[in-house]
Structure 1
C-alpha cells in the first residue's frame, strides 16, 4: 500500500452517469489501510469541518414506539474532497439478543466537481474503523497527561478495534483491560489486538468497579443489553470516559468536570438514555473539531474527570469511504450497475 491512493479506473460505464459502482462487503474486506492512515483521514475530516469547508447536518432518526428497530439517515459534504454523500443505517431486533439482530448500513458517494456518482458501498467496515479512530482521537486530546491504563467495555464491532486504535494515538499505555460477557467477542478482541500489536495482551476483568477505578481511559462500546453500568463515583481523578454505545451510567456524564462531544446536537438525538429524569443534558464544554484545531481544550487540568460522547459524524464516513472507494476502484473491485438508463 502506498500513501497516495490509486486513481479510480476510468471506464465509459463509470463516467457516463448512468451506472453506479457497487462495492460489497467482500470487495472492501481485502483493502489494506493502516490504523494510522484511518486516524489521519478521520482527523482531517474534522479539521475540514471546523474550517467551514464541509457540511454535516443533524441526522434524521426513525424509531417505532416499541423500540424494536432504529434507522438513521445522514447527508453530508466533504469540502476537501468535493464529495457529497448520504449514509443510511438500519438496525432491527433491538429487543432481542445480538445473534437475532439485523444491521444494514450503506454509503453512496457523488463527485461534486463532475456531478457523477463515485460508488455505493457497504458501510459496515467504514463504521467499524472510523468510530474507534474517533475514540482514539478523543483519548489523545482528552486523557490526563501520563495516562497509562485503558479499560474497554464491550466486545462487539466497536470494542474489537478499540484497543489497537488507542495504542495508535496513546502508545505509552502499558495496561490494557477488557470487560466483556461473550467468550467469542473476548477472543476476537485479543485476536485483533495481537494482529496489530503482536507483543501486547489484554487483561480480562470481572470486577468492573475495581477496573474502572484503576483506568485512566475508559471506552464503553457495549450493546444495549450489557450488565455494565459504570458509576461516576467509581472513577478516580483525571479519568476520561468515552461513550460509544453502552456501559456508562448517566452519572458519569452529569457529574463530569468537563463534557466533550463530537456533536452536541447528535448527543441529544442518540444519547437520550443518558439524559436526567427531566430529559435534560448538561452543557457541552467543547466539541471535538475545535479541540483538534487547538481552539478549545480537551481538559482543564490533570485531575478533571472528563466525559466524551462519540457520536459518528457523516463527514468522517465520507472521508474514509472515499479513501476506500479510490483504493477499491483502483484495484478494479466492485460491480458496475446500470441504474439510470
Structure 2
C-alpha cells in the first residue's frame, strides 16, 4: 500500500466481496492483533453506546490504534428495527483507517464482511485455547451470518474435529452452512440435530450464534465434563456462565455491558478468570484441568477489526479496487 497516497480509498460491500482471503490469514491477523494489544502496543478504549428509551435502535462508536500496523481507526455501527424480524432490520457499519506514520487517510470501508470473518475467527481462537485435549465434536447453534462460517473456522484452528453438529431451523441457513463448509473443506458435512440437549452432551465445543428470538437455551446440566461453551449471540442459558468452572472473555468490561441477558437475577456476573489477549500472549492458560467446563464470551474488540480492515485495505490497493476520493480538498 502506498503510504504517501493522499486520497481516501472507499471500499464498498461489492469491492470487499471480491477479495480472496484464506481463513488461516484471517485467524493469523486477528491473533496478531491480540498479541499486540497484550504487549501494550495497541489501544482499545471502551466503546460508546447510544440506545433510545424504547430500544428500537442501537449505535456504537469505537476508536482504536494498532501499534504493529501503526494505524488508527474509527468503527461505527448502527442497527435499526431491533423489535422487528431480522429481514426487516437495517444495519450499517463502517471502518475508517488512518496511517499513524504519515498522518494520511488510508481507507473507509463497509465493515460487515470484516465482522462476519472476525467474529468466527475469534470463536475459533477461543476454542483452540479453551478446548479440552482430544476434542472431537463441535456443535454450532444458529445458521445466520456468524453460524455459517463457524465450522470452517473451527476446523482451521482445531483440525482434529471429527463430528460437526448443527442446530438450526431455517432451511436456507442450513444450506448456506453446508455450502460454506463444502467450499472451505470439501468432503466434510454436518449432522443436523433436533434434540439440542442430547447434542450438547456429546459436544466438546459449543458455539452459540443464534439470534435473539431463538428458543434454544442449553442449560449447564446438559454440558459434558470438559466442555467449552462459546457465546457469540444466543443459544446458551445463563447457567452455563454462572456454573462454569472457568470464565473467559475477550473483554470482561464488554461482557458486563453487552451480555446483560446472561446476568443473574440481581444483575451480577461471576468474575472473569482470564481475557483472551492474555491467553493468546501465552502469559496464562485458559484451562487448568481437562474436566473443567469453560464458558467463553466472544465480544468484538475494535483492534481486531482494525487489523483485519487494514489487511483488506492492503489487498484492495494491490488490486486497485475501490474508489479514491479527495474528501478534504
State the TM bucket, normalised to the shorter chain: over 0.9
1:39-63 CA-to-partner distances (Å, cap 9, x unmatched) read 0010000000000000001111111
User: How high is the TM-score relative to the length of structure 2?
Assistant: 0.98
Alignment of 1:60-209 (within 5 A): 60-209=48-197
Runs of 4+ in 1 over 2 A off after TM superposition: none
2:39 pairs with one of 51, 69, 73: 51
- Equivalent pair of 1:9/1:332 in contact (CA under 8 Å): no
Equivalent in 290, 306, 312 of residue 300 of structure 2: 312
Pairwise CA distance, 1:37: 0.7
In 2, the alpha carbon distance for the partners of 1:200 and 1:93 equals: 37
User: What do the CA deviations read for 1:127-173 (whole angstroms, capped 9, x no partner)?
Assistant: 01011001000000000000000000011111100000000000010
C-alpha separation between the residues in 1 aligned to 2:203 and 2:55? 33
Query: TM-score of the superposition, structure 1-length normalised?
Result: 0.95
| 3-state DSSP of counterpart to 2:207 | strand
Say if 2:214 is the partner of 1:210.
Answer: no
Deviations 1:264-289 (A, max 9, x none): 01111111111111111100000001
Is residue 2:5 matched to residue 1:15? yes
SS in 2 for 1:172: coil
Deviation, structure 1 residue 24:
0.3
- Provide the rounded CA distance (Å) in 2 between the counterparts of 1:208 and 1:90: 32
The yes-or-no answer on 1:335 pairing with 2:323 is yes
SS of match in other structure, 1:193: helix
Please provide the CA RMSD for this pair: 1.0
Give me the whole-angstrom Cα distance separating, in 2, the residues matched to 1:294 and 1:274.
Answer: 28
1:338, CA displacement in angstroms? 2.6
Structure 2 CA distance for aligned equivalents of residues 290 and 9 of structure 1: 33
Asked if the contact 1:9–1:330 (Cα under 8 Å) also holds between the matched residues in 2, the reply is no
Measure the CA separation in 1 of the matches of 2:227 and 2:86: 30
| TM-superposed deviation, 1:9 | 5.0
Any idea what SS the aligned residue of 1:160 has? helix
1:234-245 matches, cutoff 5 A: 234-245=222-233
Distance 2:257 2:320 in 1: 39
Which structure 2 residue ranges, 5 or more long, are not aligned?
Answer: none
CA distance in 2, matches of 1:15, 1:217: 45
Q: Secondary structure at the match of 2:180?
A: helix
Secondary structure of 1:238's counterpart equals: coil
Indicate the SS of the match to 1:307: strand
